[in-house]
Every structure is written in C-alpha cells, then in structure tokens.
Amino acid sequence: MLELKNINKSFNGRPVLKNVTLTIEDGKTLAIVGPSGVGKTTLLRIISGLEQADSGTMIWNGKPTTAQAMRKQGIIGVVFQNFELFPNLSVMRNITLAPTLQGVDQQQADATAKKLLDQLALTDQEKAYPYSLSGGQKQRVAIARALALNPQILLYDEPTSALDPLLRENVAEMVNQFKASGMTQVVVTHDMDFAKSVADTTYHVGKGGDDQ
Amino acid sequence: MTYIFQILPALLSGVKLTLGIFAITLVGAIPLGLILSVGLIPKPKSILGKAGKSLLEGYVWVFRGTPLLLQLMFIFYGLPIIGIVFDRFSAALVAFILNYAAYFAEIFRGGFGAVDEGQFEASTVLNMTRWQALRYVVIPQVVKIVLPSIGNEVINLVKDSSLVYVIGLGDLLRAGNIASARDVTLLPLVLVGVIYLLLTLILTFLQKRIEAAFSYYR
C-alpha cells in the first residue's frame, strides 16, 4: 500500500497540486481524473520520481520512503502516454534491456519477455522494431517492458489518448485482467467513461478528494 | 598519356598529404566535437557551468564565423609573432581540427536535441543510470540522426584540405598547380579535379553504406 500525504507542487509560483492526500491500495485500480492542465500527470511524475514535490510525504507499507528509493527497489512501473519505446531496439530488446543491465542473465530475461509477449498477444512482434507496430501494440510492449521488472504498482499516463477510440474498451479489459491477477494499478486519465470502467477508487485532482 | 604518367607520381604524393590531413582531422575533430557538444546541451546552474558554456559558444562562434583560410594563416603566420611556432603540417592540423570540431559540436548538439527527453525519462523509470541511457538508448539514436550532416562535412573536408596550399604544404592541388605552371598545360589541373572527384565518390559510397546499415529502424 502506498500513501501520499499532503503533496504540494508549484511551477514558477503557480500552485498545481495542493495538499494531495491519497492511498493506492494493493490489488486495486485507482483512477486519477480531472480536466487537462490540473496536474494529473505532474502527480504521476512525482510518484515515479521524474518530478520532485515541494513538500509532502510518501509512505510505502507503513514506512516513509521517496520516489528514488522506490525506483531502486523496483516498486513502480510506468507506461507513458506516448509509450516512449526505444526505436533503435527490437521489441524483445526493449523489454530485456533494463533487466539485463540490472544483473538478470540474458536467457532468463528472454524467457520472461517471451512469456509477457505471449500474454499480451505480441508473440509475432518479438523481432519487430517499434516503428512497425500499431498504437495498441506499442502500448502493450510498453506494458511488457514495465512488467519485466516485476513492479508492485503499475502507473499509466493517459492510456487511451494516443489510441484509436475503438481501442478504449480493449485497454479497459486489459487493465481489469491485470487487476484480476492481483496487480495494483494507477490510471491517470481525463476520460471519465474509461475511468468508470476500470477504477475501484477515483481521485479528482483539483477538487481535492476521493469518491466512494 | 606518357605526360600523365610523368606527373602522376608528384600528384600522388600530393594525395598522400591531402589524405593525411583528412584522416588526422577526422580522428581528432569527431571525438572532440562530441565531447564539446555535451557541454553545449545542458542549462547549467552554477556560475562556473554558465561560464564554461559561454566559452564553448564563443569558440564555436569564432571558428564557424571566420574563414578557415584566415585561421590557417593566423596559426601559421600570426602566432609566431607572439612566440607560438608550429611547423606547417602541425599548424594545418591545429586549424583543421579546431575548425571542424566546432562544426561537429553543433551537429552533435542538434542530434542530442532531436532525441525526445521522454527517452531519458523512460530509461530513468526503468532504473537505468544516466550513462546506461546514453550508451544504449540515446547515443545510438544521435548517431543515426547526425550521419547525413557528418557525411556532408567529411566531403567538405576533402576539398577544404586544399587550403593548406596557402601555408606552403605540398598537397594535391599544389602538385597540380606546379606542373601546370611549369609545363604550360591545363591537363594537371584537370587531373587534380578528377582525383578529387574520385575521392568524394568513394566517400559518398561509404556514406550511403553506413546510412543503409542504420536504416533497420525509423
């Protein structure tokens, strides 16, 4: 369980996040919603350590922690809005690069990656390069890349916005499948229908509070 | 035909000098340009960092903003006045390496700028170090991006090397010019042109091969 307490962040004196307090519960899906420009992505970037909060604390399973410490422990996985696959590397290598750099041996990393690719219906794309993939395939590679490091929490930044609207239900289905297998997930989205179809809890940025 | 064979040895020894300047300049200027470009990218916060960046920008400005011919003359004829003396070949190398490193630095800076910041962020959240991100993700992309511009400069360098004429080095152009003046014929200059064309033809071919090797992704 990850708790955020009184997170504040301003850019050039303009407050973006004010006293954000929320709990990410194990095995549940939290949707962080709100119109664009209210700081949803900033909040996700603070949790993943890409942005530093001005004040506030993070508590992982009862103990105070930092985003940097969580990264070193491999707690957080991130799926970016534009996926940010590495264009110079094959699908397989995109997934195995980080694990092998962190000491997993190549064979083991390959085996893990193959399993993930099978689960995500990407078996045939193993040797492909990102430019040749569809948006949905790119997203699934990005998810496989994050999952290869066995994170405890998977964060998605606007998972529906770079995709064909028809794929929205597929993404929701995928998120719910991961939930069924016990994954803790956080979805940042401006798409309320999508949020409703995946979320156990919803946090409205800007209004400062929980539903349900 | 016999005349061509008579002057060919002189021309070829000129080619040797031209290629020497060419090769050593590349070996010196490409790594130097890459290192300098790293100093041109970040937005430094400390006063020392800011001063360093301004210094680098000033260097690029001076060496791109003045003629290479002037730089050659300045280093070989000018610097001895204040007691810094280079022999002809070293003076040529200093001028060429400093000049070309300035161009390469700008090319690499543009290459780094063209790689999305998100690539660094994706590497960071995958718990890769900054060096690992550079080594496996960013630099391979930069190399692909800069290849066409680097190729352009490399071809320019072959021709620019003829500027060493002005400090009295016996390069290909000088060898041709001497033969032409001595024997009162245009043929040596035509031959010089043909040799430059052959050299650039080979380089263009190599450039295409290297670019093709990097075309496995987009």
Euclidean distance between CA atoms A144 and A136, whole angstroms: 12
Among A82, A88, A127, the residue to mutate for chain B (most B Cβ within 10 A): A88
Which pLDDT tens digit goes with each residue over A55-102? Answer: 999 999 999 999 999 999 999 999 999 999 999 999 999 999 999 999
Work out the pLDDT band at A209, boundaries 50, 70, 90. low
- Is the pLDDT score of A211 beyond 50? no
Query: Closest Cα of chain B to A212: distance in Å?
Result: 31
Instruction: Output the pLDDT for position B4.
Output: 87
Q: Do B140 and A97 touch (CB under 8 A)?
A: no
- Share above pLDDT 90 across residues of chain A, in percent, rounded to a whole number: 85
Mean pLDDT for all residues in chain A: 92
Q: What is the pLDDT of residues B52-63, one digit of tens each?
A: 899 999 999 999
**A151 touches B at CB < 8 Å:** no
Asked if B216's CB is within 8 angstroms of A87's CB, the reply is no
Indicate if the pLDDT at residue A212 is higher than 70: no
Whether residue A155 is predicted with pLDDT greater than 70 in this model: the reply is yes
CATH of domain A26-53+67-210: 3.40.50.300
DSSP state of A74: T
Mutation target among B116, B127, B141, B143 for the A interface, most CBs of A within 10 A = B127
- CA gyration radius, chain B: 21
Residue B122 to residue A80, Cβ atoms within 8 A:
yes
Tell me what pLDDT residue B48 has: 84
Residue of A nearest to B121 (CA): A50
Q: Which two tokens stand for residue B41?
A: 């990218």
Contact yes or no for A145 and B126 at CB 8 A: yes
Write the single-letter amino acid at B149. Answer: S
Please report, in angstroms and rounded to a whole number, the separation of the first and last CA atoms in chain B. Answer: 50
Degrees, nearest 5: CA angle A179-A184-A186 = 100
Residue A18 near chain B (CB below 8 Å): no
Pairwise CB contact (< 8 Å): B125 & A131: no
- Picking from B125, B128, B218, the nearest residue to A101 by CB comes out as B128
Contact assignment for B144 to A49 by CB distance below 8 Å = no
DSSP secondary structure string for all residues of chain B:
-HHHHHHHHHHHHHHHHHHHHHHHHHHHHHHHHHHHHHHHSS---SHHHHHHHHHHHHHHHHHHHS-HHHHHHIIIIIGGGGT----HHHHHHHHHHHHHHHHHHHHHHHHHHHS-HHHHHHHHHTT--HHHIIIIIIHHHHHHHHHHHHHHHHHHHHHHGGGGGGGT---HHHHHHHHHHHHT-SHHHHHHHHHHHHHHHHHHHHHHHHHHHTTT--
8 Å CB contact between A201 and A31: yes
Q: Given CB atoms, is A72 within the 8 Å cutoff of chain B?
A: yes
Q: Which A positions 174-193 lie with beta carbon below 8 A of chain B?
A: none
| pLDDT in the model for residue A165 | 84
User: Mutation test of the interface with chain B: which of A47, A101, A154, choosing the one with the most B Cβ atoms within 10 A?
Assistant: A101
Nearest CA in chain A to B128: A98
> What pLDDT is recorded for position B47?
85
- Convert the pLDDT of each residue in B10-52 to its tens digit: 899 999 999 999 999 999 999 999 989 888 877 777 888 888 8
- Closest CB to A48: pick one of B125, B144, B218: B125
Q: Residue B168 in contact with residue B73, Cβ under 8 Å?
A: no
**In this predicted complex, what is the ipTM?**
0.91
Tens-place pLDDT, residues A7-27? 999 998 888 899 999 999 999
Per CB distance under 8 Å, which residues of B are interface residues toward A? 116, 118-119, 121-128, 132, 136-137, 140-141, 144, 216-218
Residue to substitute from A84, A85, A104, interface B, most B β-carbons within 10 A = A84
pLDDT digits (tens, 9 = 90+) for A166-192: 888 899 999 999 999 999 999 999 999
Supply the pLDDT for residue B42: 74
CB-based contact B156:B25 (threshold 8 Å) = no
* Partners of residue B124 in chain A, C-beta under 8 Å: 49-50, 71
Interchain proximity B119–A145, CB inside 8 Å: no
CATH architecture of B2-213: Orthogonal Bundle (1.10)
Cβ <8 Å between B119 and A48: no
- The answer to whether residue A167 neighbours chain B at the CB level (below 8 Å) is no
Above 80 in pLDDT, residue A137? Answer: yes
**Predicted pLDDT of residue A111:** 96
Q: Which residues of chain B have pLDDT under 70?
A: none
